[in-house]
Structure 1
Amino acid sequence: MRLPVHDEASALIRADRITVAYDRAEVLVDVDLAICERDLIGIVGPSGSGKSTLLKALLGGIKPIRGSVTRRRGVSVGFVPQVEKIDWNFPVTVAECIGMARATGFRAPWLSKAERIEIVAILDRLGLHGLGDRHIRDLSGGQQQRVFIGRALFTGADVVFLDEPTSGLDVKTRHEVLHLLRDLNADGVTVVLSTHDLNGIATHLPTIVCLNKSVIGAGHPDEVLTPEVLERTYGSPMQILEHGGMRVVVDAGPDASVLPFAAQAG
């Protein structure tokens, strides 16, 4: 299923019926997806649904066994990994961490004056003013996430991919990260993220892709977050409730309760 709101000819990156396998086990099957300028897309699905694999395929890090991923000539990409996978004790400052992102390699003592000015501007843009000389381990979780978003921006990326950018963050910080991504998107950066945080993050995005090996639904949350699509995505009956003007997903099973990610809504 393709996102229905786009002219495919305008896509920056397009997946055409891609199938990806690890050791012959298919993780993604016949996935179609078009990413266009100024998109802000959230990819949701249960653990093992292929969210991270889809990001890697779109980035060009994994080659599909069937289908193809094409990128418009000249389009650059950046990637923000899960913060849990980063060694925060690595001896590097915030500014050095961002400077290492350039394709020419890490040249911290020899970064040009223009590059240093650019890094300062990125830190200011991300709300990290004055923290360039601080060690990365001495930052809060939200600040650490912003540093790696800054790395992606320093590459000049047209499209920024983020793998679970709010994982492990508290409610307030999750929403700060979401607002930052919205601001960057408003400034012209195309953003694609995976998230398990369905109520706290995904319902606030303009476009959602529900994934479970294949694309189950794609489009605006009002169109996609339906009991039918969610049950096919998560394998469990669900209901959509309105609470304080917000959509909340709840488990509709015999022991019905708000799903764990619903507690993250705010």
Structure 2
Amino acid sequence: MNDRIRTDIAHNARVWNYWLGGKDNYPVDRAVGDQVTGFYPGIGEVARADRAFLGRAVTHLAADAGVRQFLDIGTGLPTADNTHEVAQRVAPDARIVYVDNDPIVLTHARALLTSAPGGVTEYVDADARDPEKILASAAATLDLSRPVAVLMLGILNFVLDTDEARSIVRTLMAAVPSGSHLVLTHPTLEPELGGEGNKAAMAFWNEHATPPITARTRAEFASFLDGLDVLEPGIVSCARWRADGADGAAHEVAQFGAVGRKP
């Protein structure tokens, strides 16, 4: 087993996997996950809504926007409908680079490296706080002179300093051309999305699990999209972003979602 894996403290990637119904987690992850659910019963719904948002956003970008390159930062553990599966269902020639620094995600990365014959998937072991390393590594697989969709779903909330988080986004988006997209989700405490319950849950998390997490306001979230054209319907609960059919019946969750296009 990777000696970086800690089984005595809950970790976000594994707890998220537990909430999604996966099996790549330990008793400590399930215990903390249940405790957080006690504080915020809707957290499992947030996890599922975030995953469904990924599917809709990637499908739109591949099918309607013609994007063929995806940089998925903060990948998490493999589950159903990973980014490459969604993208290559539409465009078999799509190229995907996954980025994460969690050792258990790295251990399972081979599940992310299955690709349609005409496409490519690659995995980079890097921290979201090191965008220069991410870009340098991704350039081995992606052509950064052509549009790239940069996905940062539920990852900027682990960068506690908002200025640092903005700087990461600016560095990434400055390195990709016009027609590139930024796909974001982020938890919030704002009552309009029912976020009040997040406060106690996040406080418990920060005392008993890793890495520490923060919520942000709509204005703070919007600042990550500065300079981009935000696609309709704008900044909304990720459960509501272009949802229809079964997804449209989902309850609003306290997780912003948005997609911006670099003009």
Task: Name the TM-score class by shorter chain.
Answer: 0.3 to 0.5
Please, what TM-score do these two structures have when normalized by structure 2? 0.36
The structure with more strand, counted as a fraction of residues = 1
Q: Whose relative contact order is higher, 1 or 2, with alpha carbons under 8 Å and at least 6 apart? A: 1
Please, what TM-score do these two structures have when normalized by structure 1? 0.35
The structure with more helix, counted as a fraction of residues = 2
